């Protein structure tokens, strides 16, 4: 496995090894088994794999969140060296390498970035689109692998690729969960022990929603979720929506749904100071 920090080094590597365009796994580091499952999936499908580790400042709407985002570069490299092959590489650029000047680009994804995370984290998806497009320009991958935990991000990146990078296949990978059901996330490292102990309730609540979705109206599902989450000490619900899996429009009534669409129950909450998200596919009829 090689480690590069500059665009020039990546270009030089491509000249030397004459491999096919790589499969790409973009990350912000603080790697866990969920990231490794994306890397393994890329390795099974691609001759060469690139992983980026870059904590992207432009996607943090809260400067404190950016400051406290876990950074564990040595552990990350050691985990990756256990799975990556000789020509595979890790790209760990500096902020100046990614943003030589201020990135003033404004992306508009229509309704996709105006709901759920987009409403609660203004500017977040603009920052994600800025960094992902920069990384796509540098890495020039044939495919890119993203986890379904960040379901809205995945949908927006598919749209970015459809508009601007039609040659890059976006591969959606299933959510990896801890034994108690908590979706794996770099943020889990920051949970207080008492919050971590209770965090399995999030997935149990989503499974509860999936189990009752056929019989209940959307507002009943919402009450069920807000009730359950409010009973967990230290937890605070930010939103719960049942959204169309294609255009992400949140539903108000089951009568708005169509038979040929997929629906997802999406949740965001605070466990103490740590913001967590999760989702589950549900059938409403
Ligand atoms: O999902 C993430 O870790 C980040 O949003 C991404 C896609 C690496 C862009 O910074």
How far away, in angstroms, is 153 Cα from ligand 1 center? 8
* pLDDT tens digits, 205-225: 999 999 999 999 999 999 999
Averaged over 134-147, what is the pLDDT?
A: 98
Q: Ligand 1: residues within 6 Å at CB?
A: 26-28, 56, 59, 128, 131-132, 150, 153
User: What's the topology of domain 2-173?
Assistant: Rossmann fold (3.40.50)
Domain boundaries, the chain: 2-173, 186-280
Per the CB < 8 A criterion, the answer to whether 23 and 87 are in contact is no
Q: What pLDDT score does 72 carry?
A: 97
Lookup result for tokens 């020509």: 87
CA of 122 relative to ligand 1 center, distance in Å: 16
Distance CA 223, CA 227 (A): 6
φ/ψ (deg, to 5) at 280: -145, 145
Question: Hunting for tokens 């692998």 — which residue is that?
Answer: 145
Residue nearest to atom 8 of ligand 1 (CA): 27
Q: Whose CA is nearest to atom 5 of ligand 1?
A: 128
pTM of the model: 0.96
- Give the helix/strand (H/E) hosting 188: none
Mean pLDDT of 244-262: 93
**Structural tokens at position 147:** 């986890």
Q: Is the pLDDT of residue 285 over 80?
A: no
Specify whether 35 is catalytic: yes
Q: How far is the CA of 223 from the centre of ligand 1 (A)?
A: 31
Identify the active-site residue in 13, 32, 35, 195: 35
Residue 93, H or E segment:
none
pLDDT per residue over 31-41, tens digit each?
A: 999 999 999 99
What topology is assigned to 186-280 in CATH? 3.30.1300
**What local confidence, expressed as pLDDT, does residue 259 receive?**
87
CA atoms of 223 and 244, how far apart (whole Å): 19
- CA–CA dist 234, 269 (Å, integer): 10
Residue 18: pLDDT over 90: no
The answer to whether the CB of 228 falls within 8 A of the CB of 207 is no
CA of 25 to the centre of ligand 1 (A): 9
């Amino acid at each position: 496995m090689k480690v590069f920090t500059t665009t020039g080094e990546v270009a030089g590597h491509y000249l030397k090894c004459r491999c096919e365009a790589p499969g790409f796994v973009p990350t912000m580091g603080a790697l866990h088994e969920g990231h490794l499952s994306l890397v393994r999936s890329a390795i099974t499908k691609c001759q060469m794999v690139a992983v980026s580790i870059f904590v992207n400042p432009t996607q943090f709407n809260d400067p404190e969140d950016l400051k406290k985002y876990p950074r564990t570069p040595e552990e990350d490299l050691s985990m990756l060296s256990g799975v990556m092959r000789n020509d595979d590489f890790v790209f760990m650029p500096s902020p100046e390498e990614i943003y030589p000047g201020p990135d003033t680009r404004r992306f508009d994804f229509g309704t996709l970035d105006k709901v759920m995370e987009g409403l609660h984290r203004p500017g977040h998806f603009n920052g994600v689109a800025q960094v992902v497009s920069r990384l796509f320009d540098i890495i020039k991958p044939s495919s890119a692998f993203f986890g379904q935990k960040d379901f809205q991000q995945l949908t927006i990146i598919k749209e970015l690729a459809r508009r601007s990078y039609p040659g890059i296949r976006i591969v959606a990978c299933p959510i990896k969960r801890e034994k108690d059901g908590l979706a794996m996330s770099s943020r889990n490292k920051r949970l207080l022990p008492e919050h971590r102990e209770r965090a399995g309730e999030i997935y149990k609540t989503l499974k509860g929603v999936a189990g009752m979705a056929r019989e209940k109206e959307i507002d009943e599902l919402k009450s069920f979720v807000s009730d359950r989450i409010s009973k967990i000490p230290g937890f605070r619900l930010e939103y719960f929506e049942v959204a169309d899996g294609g255009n992400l429009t949140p539903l108000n009534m089951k009568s708005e749904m169509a038979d040929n669409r997929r629906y997802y129950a999406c949740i965001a909450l605070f466990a103490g100071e740590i913001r967590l998200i999760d989702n589950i596919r549900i059938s409403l009829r």
